[in-house]
Structure 1
């Protein structure tokens, strides 16, 4: 039997019993700013892990500038968490519409989310863990990134040609992702073209890109690099990395690696 504070068991689990939602307290101080003001400043956040989703911070209302939130008519339904109500953030005439959501009567399995709110990452200006800005989504304590120097021979083929070859790559091992091979720029023989593309990673920083020209073909944004990585990933600064998924082959110790299947494939 559910309490008045919850909406009973989540119906989604009947068809998807394998679906996982877990949450735990985060020991970090987390701040969220919008239009120059702190909307959240807390050491009492929860970090939520859900199947097929990135980690999400939930914040106790006591640590949220609720006076800056305006309830809207928007609502959504999650078969695992319940009905979400929404708020816009309004500061000095600037509005982040429907940027905040809350489960007023969550399903029993996530009853601990009651009286907490969450925010869409890209709807506000800045997120900080302690005093360091974080990009894209919360850093998961369950993700590990190891960057190891290796003398194993690495060779990259693209368009039928060898475009990089080295025995001083740095291998990056990240939880649940393919191994990435970061290569010194001087060991890349490809013709690199400038690109305006950039992406962000909470564990590595802001990546810039190169396209590669081989013969008459241009392979768009197939190489990335970090000019100013976060401290934990400093070893890959200015090294170049090819998409394993998009080149002809990556050879390690003379053996072609199996192409990984990812969202970039």
Structure 2
């Protein structure tokens, strides 16, 4: 059963994911982005990109130079995105905490997404915190998609119960 889409009207300073394009677009982000896992700041950048796609909160891609890459271990398997290409995965190991396949990247993305080649995206749900401009994000519902929700983003969001067919 599909849930009826009842779009939330954005207030001043907010964005609706229903105004994002399909196919998705890539946008540079100058706001500071941090990721904390097991008490360790594993990423800190002002040079990220975000992917904006209809019905999804933004997915943030961080440059490897601003990530403590020693915590990332290549993981087996891959997946395919019709817009970006073939994704490969990382397992995150921070001291005694091991989080399988919680980050992904595109080594050879499509032409439209070439700027994020080897940039890394992280699922927010298993982290201590992921932050955009100092605000702790809420993970996109469903633990399948990797979007990050902040107070300036309104939905409803793909991944919520009943949204599979959107």
Fold similarity call, TM over 0.5 = yes
Which consecutive segments of 4 or more residues in structure 1 shift more than 4 A? none
Distance 1:176-1:102 versus aligned 2 partners, 3 A rule: closer
- Counterpart of 1:37? 40
CA distance in 1, matches of 2:71, 2:30: 25
- Counterpart of 2:114? 111
Cα contact 1:103–1:113 (8 A) shared by 2: yes
- Counterpart of 1:126? 129
Number of matched pairs: 130
Alignment partner of 1:139 is 2:142 = no
What is the SS of the residue equivalent to 1:23?
Answer: strand
Q: Which has the larger radius of gyration?
A: 1
2:98 is aligned, of 87, 95, 115, to 95
Alignment partner of 1:78 is 2:116 = no
CA distance in 1, matches of 2:46, 2:125: 21
- Counterpart of 2:63? 60
> 5+ unaligned residues in a row in structure 1: which ranges?
1-17, 144-174, 178-261
CA distance in 1, matches of 2:40, 2:124: 16
Alignment partner of 1:24 is 2:4 = no
Query: RMSD of the alignment, in Å?
Result: 2.1
> 1:115-170, CA deviations, whole angstroms, 9 ceiling, x for partnerless residues?
211001112221122333222224386x4xxxxxxxxxxxxxxxxxxxxxxxxxxx
> 5+ unaligned residues in a row in structure 2: which ranges?
1-20, 140-147, 157-161
Distance 1:128-1:176 versus aligned 2 partners, 3 A rule: closer
- Counterpart of 1:160? none
Distance 1:109-1:129 versus aligned 2 partners, 3 A rule: closer
Distance 1:59-1:140 versus aligned 2 partners, 3 A rule: farther
What is the SS of the residue equivalent to 1:55?
Answer: strand
Q: TM-score, normalised by structure 2?
A: 0.70
> 1:18-59, CA deviations, whole angstroms, 9 ceiling, x for partnerless residues?
832112121211100101111110111111102332211110
CA distance in 2, matches of 1:139, 1:115: 25
CA distance in 2, matches of 1:19, 1:131: 29
- Structure with the higher fraction of residues in strand conformation: 1
CA distance in 2, matches of 1:80, 1:52: 15
CA distance in 2, matches of 1:70, 1:115: 14
